Amino acid sequence: MAKSTVYFTNELTPEAVVKMYRQLGIELPGKVAVKVHSGEDGNQNYLHPEFMKPVIDAVNGTVVECNTAYGGARNETPKHIELMKKHHWSDLFDVDIMDAEGPDVEWPVENGKVLKVNYLGKNIENYDSMLVLIHFKGHPMGGYGGALKQLSIGVASSYGKAYIHGAGDAKVGFGADHDSFLASMADAASTVAKHFAGKIAYVAVMKNLSVDCDCCAVAEDPCMNDVGILSSLDPVALDRACIDLVINSNDPGRDHFMERVNSRHGTHTIDSAETLGIGTQAYELVKV
């Protein structure tokens, strides 16, 4: 497989997000779903809607989210809608909680390591293309949060999230074998990458680099300095490049960040996704 191209800039402005999307040379057709992480109530690290506004406007996108599978302000549609208002997403954009009403859509997983099916918010089928906006950071369970997490947990329905976490058994939820959970994320991600093949773009912002995810109401403050913005048409290469930028930095917080990634075996998700054929870890980093 040829190397994938990953673009990188150390500029960190709303305009640079647009520039990095444009760098991909892709026009997303039709109705565009824009996947963001809207931030749990109380979280201080999530990227605010103002930062993402120019790029969402550029694709005339609809911000999409799905309900969570755990307690908090986003596990039920009415609360989730209120939080989208509180965090100002609804002020600036059309917002679609894709699993607000059932039933979920079920997409088969081709050659899945763990999962045979992925359960998604049914409104995902209303969109022709997708822009995946990633706030790259650590994660308490996945080790890190990047493109593959946005494609899997990010667009799975509330039930689908529990199903992925449970490695195919929603009742097990957060208690499944850990590597099976990581491989399940890759399985689920592959269905979305394939569904939108040729009509999906990924932009990752390496800012507010906490070891905790934006899903944490109480998150550790960032442990590293901001790095920059990356973009690619390959989610596997993008996640790998983000991890490599951390590993290769001389930031004093690097070891703390990588301890979170490595202790959770985070890169197993990247390895699994590569074997499913949705991307490659061989990439060329092109500075913009």
Confidence bin at 285 (pLDDT 50/70/90): very high
d(C-alpha 101, C-alpha 167), whole Å: 24
Residue 257 in tokens: 């960040």
Name the average pLDDT for the chain: 97
Predicted confidence (pLDDT) at residue 214 exceeds the cutoff of 90:
yes
Residue 54 in tokens: 């120019």
Q: What is the pLDDT of residues 151-189, one digit of tens each?
A: 999 999 999 999 999 999 999 989 999 999 999 999 999
Q: What is the pLDDT of residues 73-126, one digit of tens each?
A: 898 999 999 999 999 999 999 999 999 998 999 999 999 999 999 999 999 999
- Judge whether 245 and 206 are in contact, CB under 8 Å: yes
d(C-alpha 241, C-alpha 246), whole Å: 9
- Judge whether 146 and 242 are in contact, CB under 8 Å: yes
d(C-alpha 106, C-alpha 212), whole Å: 30
The reported pLDDT for the residue numbered 156 is 98
Residue 284 in tokens: 């060329």
Find the radius of gyration of the CA atoms of the chain: 17
Q: What is the pLDDT of residues 129-159, one digit of tens each?
A: 999 999 999 999 999 999 999 999 999 999 9
How many other CB atoms are there within 10 angstroms of residue 138's CB atom? Answer: 28
> Which residues lie closer than 8 Å to 142 by C-beta, 6 or more apart?
149, 153, 182, 185, 213, 264, 266, 269
Predicted confidence (pLDDT) at residue 1 exceeds the cutoff of 80:
no
Confidence bin at 41 (pLDDT 50/70/90): very high
Q: How many residues does the chain have?
A: 288
